[in-house]
Structure 1
């Protein structure tokens, strides 16, 4: 009897995989999804609507949300394998790919996923520096008037951001600080809501004639038909980036070290499907509001980043506060995205060179307000080098919209569409050339074409921008 009671007590503490009992619900999973999706991608949506117009813009937002929702349903079923309810748990996106598709696609997934993570950290460095510069410019406009250029270099702010990240990168288990997710959620909702509020105020104020069209920025003076086409493709990449969250969907289901993840009853895949619907529905409403209200406020001249493009000058303190929220959000978000990279490289090196004291040895040090921790020379060297690398690339490619569009394009098809579809086909054993198989392949190929067009538009924009500025001389 005593042994049975011990087993029962253990089962109430641990899950079927021996890990701490998961307690997440539909509510917590929905909140995590909303937090993961709503981010800096919202800043470019007014510009996206300006490129696509009143009809195609909102339609594109809805279509991307539907594709993301549908493929997320497929991905949720692949969390356990070989059966979606009773199978073995997989704790990361790459583990899911390895369990369902095998070696080669597992390696390709690693390239896509970690390449995307590197790109995001570069993008966050760029976005943060632009917001820092916007705070300085906002104060300058308030003091000297709106007709003054108040231009300032972004590079010092990128360096400041890099120094902050070098320090934060040395904190062990930074990704386990759950308060980070809460702060990120509050900040992202704060600056997005301020942007919507300022746009509504601008529309209500009726300041001047705002040119808006059904098809977006018209071809004509200053806009050739080729420029229009490439801008449309780049806008699709920006929208894809705004909806990207497949990287963390499995972790929301599985990893109690980062999320209050879903308890096993009712089955995780069923709860996750409902949470995905709630999360993406809320996000789509929010995104549509940002894009439509932003376009109504700025028209075809909508800036690439509607909080740093200075369609809003007053109240200057509110514009400053919104940009401070962006900075705080992205300081933490950078760590969320770079910690998996740090963990992967350090784990690989420890296994590859287990005898190296430089890699494996830690020196205990006392950190004020934190306690005793171990300083690793390898961690110090490698993580510092990574932050310097991403900072240098951000200084080399200081183009918000085109870079965000490229990130969205490169991650959308492989991580959001291709792997979820292929894993679902493999797990459900869907026969080749059946109706379901054909429909899924058509969806995958259509999304691949969209990805290639979006990537081409963003790359063309990057090349064009590089022709007009001096390298490492980024100015807001």
Structure 2
């Protein structure tokens, strides 16, 4: 449903309005600021937080904490930019990331620049969440029944995927609000369990904080992959405009007010989750920590089982948050370009096929750490760290060498470095994991 101002400024034809009322991103505009908060927490705090102690073990204390803090500051700044640019043209809302890109780069170039990267992020995140959900289910079973016959990881991924064959058919963002709220609460819960359980365990006398690899080449690639792990932990930008599109807006009360309030609350929660998990996890386990800290933790079994169940609930919501814009892109293309009729059959087919594809890829490449590093650097760094800055420079045109101009270029340089280096480390990790992994095991 639209707000009064949205309706008054509506310049669409009846057919365009009917299509937009059917598409998942634009079909409902009655969200509140707290929707923004828990949607952003669900999108941000996900599988990435569990790998942060591992990332610190690759980066070391000084450089690792510097990277964590800089990433938090830079991504909060670029998130603010996107919220501000959502309605920078009077009477128009950029409801999707690619629409903002088209405004900055042109109709065709904007699609070429934004859509491939956004799709890689969203589809890649869904694949990682399939792997995370399946492995967390496996860890849950091992925790509550250590003497039970072990099952293949493949089976647990399939069990996790079965939930999405149902939830995928919820029509729009607001319809998944309950799932997203539960996921946000779970993310805070399992993050707290991770660092509290680590702290209670305490660091052993022989804990080692030296680099994980003993060779210079291994250390270099490990650092590259860790940069991608950190980048993956800040993935919310890829859905922020779509989330803001669900908030009503008037000239007197634009959507950026409640949206930004929700983002600030979300980022406070992000800090509460990320920094204790990363620092305490590395402090306790040193360079022996796994790429998922909940796998490293073994005791008490009931608490670790609970944490893994919380992860499962969270990544269910995270999968829905990141898949919804993909559904929107595909359904938009089919009804606007291919001219198919909007229908339940079309929606059922598109979404079921998407779940099937992401499940198949997750079963084929269940390498949690390598996937984080690869996807984190290859696509998340551009869409999170520097693409908003480039768009800002193009549309806002700050004075050369002004503070704003310099800040944006610093973010761009850092983002480009992560984009170049992180996929190299992530790809190496995937290849090494594949070499020692028994497929479908």
> TM-score scaled to structure 2, two decimals?
0.85
Task: State the distance in 2 between where 1:174 and 1:324 align.
Answer: 24
Flag the 1:48–1:87 CA change in 2: closer, same or farther, 3 A.
same
Contact persistence 1:210–1:297 (CA under 8 A): no
Give the SS at the match of 2:440. coil
How far has the Cα of 1:153 moved from its partner? 1.8
Give the SS at the match of 1:50. helix
Contact persistence 2:5–2:249 (CA under 8 A): no
Determine which of 453, 457, 462 is the counterpart of 2:425: 457
Q: Which structure carries more helix by proportion?
A: 2
Flag the 1:423–1:324 CA change in 2: closer, same or farther, 3 A.
same
Which residue of the partner structure matches residue 324 of structure 1? 309
Contact persistence 1:33–1:245 (CA under 8 A): yes
Which residue of the partner structure matches residue 18 of structure 2? none
Determine which of 84, 102, 105 is the counterpart of 2:106: 102
Contact persistence 1:233–1:454 (CA under 8 A): yes
Task: State the distance in 1 between where 2:353 and 2:117 align.
Answer: 22
- Which has the larger Rg? 1
Answering whether residue 431 of structure 2 is matched by residue 466 of structure 1, we say: no
What's the CA shift string for 1:404-452, capped at 9, x where partnerless? 1212112333211332112211222335677754553343133201221
Give the SS at the match of 1:177. helix
Task: State the distance in 1 between where 2:99 and 2:342 align.
Answer: 28
Flag the 1:417–1:296 CA change in 2: closer, same or farther, 3 A.
closer
Task: State the distance in 1 between where 2:60 and 2:49 align.
Answer: 17
Contact persistence 1:78–1:423 (CA under 8 A): no
Give the SS at the match of 1:180. helix
Answering whether residue 125 of structure 2 is matched by residue 120 of structure 1, we say: yes
Flag the 1:394–1:175 CA change in 2: closer, same or farther, 3 A.
farther
Give the SS at the match of 1:88. coil
Which residue of the partner structure matches residue 351 of structure 1? 336
How far has the Cα of 1:199 moved from its partner? 0.9
Which residue of the partner structure matches residue 333 of structure 1? 318
How far has the Cα of 1:217 moved from its partner? 2.5
Contact persistence 1:418–1:444 (CA under 8 A): yes
Which residue of the partner structure matches residue 3 of structure 1? none
Answering whether residue 353 of structure 2 is matched by residue 385 of structure 1, we say: yes
Which residue of the partner structure matches residue 444 of structure 1? 412
Answering whether residue 271 of structure 2 is matched by residue 303 of structure 1, we say: no
Give the SS at the match of 2:211. coil
How far has the Cα of 1:74 moved from its partner? 2.3
Instruction: After TM superposition, list the pairs within 5 Å mapping 1:148-297 onto structure 2.
Output: 152-173=151-172, 176-203=175-202, 208-213=204-209, 216-217=210-211, 219=213, 223-256=214-247, 265=252, 268-269=255-256, 272=259, 276-297=263-284
How far has the Cα of 1:33 moved from its partner? 3.2
Contact persistence 1:94–1:106 (CA under 8 A): yes
Instruction: After TM superposition, list the pairs within 5 Å mapping 1:398-413 onto structure 2.
Output: 398-413=366-381
Task: State the distance in 1 between where 2:62 and 2:238 align.
Answer: 30
Task: State the distance in 1 between where 2:118 and 2:267 align.
Answer: 21
Task: State the distance in 1 between where 2:317 and 2:35 align.
Answer: 20
| Alpha-carbon RMSD | 3.0
Instruction: After TM superposition, list the pairs within 5 Å mapping 1:85-100 onto structure 2.
Output: 86=90, 88-100=92-104
Contact persistence 1:68–1:243 (CA under 8 A): yes
Q: Which runs of 5+ in 2 are unaligned?
A: 11-25
How far has the Cα of 1:56 moved from its partner? 1.8
Flag the 1:273–1:348 CA change in 2: closer, same or farther, 3 A.
closer
Which residue of the partner structure matches residue 370 of structure 1? none
Contact persistence 2:39–2:321 (CA under 8 A): no
What's the CA shift string for 1:280-337, capped at 9, x where partnerless? 2442243110111111221210111111x2x332321221111111112222322222
> TM-score scaled to structure 1, two decimals?
0.80
Task: State the distance in 1 between where 2:77 and 2:173 align.
Answer: 32
Task: State the distance in 1 between where 2:348 and 2:260 align.
Answer: 41
How far has the Cα of 1:120 moved from its partner? 1.0
Q: Which runs of 5+ in 1 are unaligned?
A: 1-9, 145-149, 363-373
Give the SS at the match of 2:436. coil
Flag the 1:273–1:333 CA change in 2: closer, same or farther, 3 A.
closer
Task: State the distance in 1 between where 2:258 and 2:332 align.
Answer: 33
How far has the Cα of 1:277 moved from its partner? 4.5
How far has the Cα of 1:273 moved from its partner? 5.1
Contact persistence 1:47–1:295 (CA under 8 A): yes
Which residue of the partner structure matches residue 54 of structure 2? 47
Task: State the distance in 1 between where 2:172 and 2:201 align.
Answer: 44
Contact persistence 2:36–2:262 (CA under 8 A): yes
Answering whether residue 346 of structure 2 is matched by residue 342 of structure 1, we say: no
